[in-house]
Amino acid sequence: MNDRYEMVVCQSGQLELRDPDDPDCWIATDSPVELER
């Protein structure tokens, strides 16, 4: 994974990668991810 990508969690709980240079480009991951706070 490229460090340029930002990991974000949508309200649906699906983890996606966003390219800072392409705010309109969203890449959804295939595997579900659980985050701990």
In a domain, 27, yes or no: yes
Return the SS3 of 29. coil
**What distance in Å separates the CA atoms of residue 4 and residue 18, rounded to the nearest whole number?**
9
What's residue 1's pLDDT? 47
pTM of structure: 0.19
Q: How many domains does the chain have?
A: 1
What's residue 26's pLDDT? 57
Q: Which domain holds residue 19?
A: 1-32
In a domain, 37, yes or no: no
**What distance in Å separates the CA atoms of residue 32 and residue 11, rounded to the nearest whole number?**
14
| Residue pLDDT, tens place only, 1-37 | 455 555 665 556 655 666 556 656 555 555 455 545 4
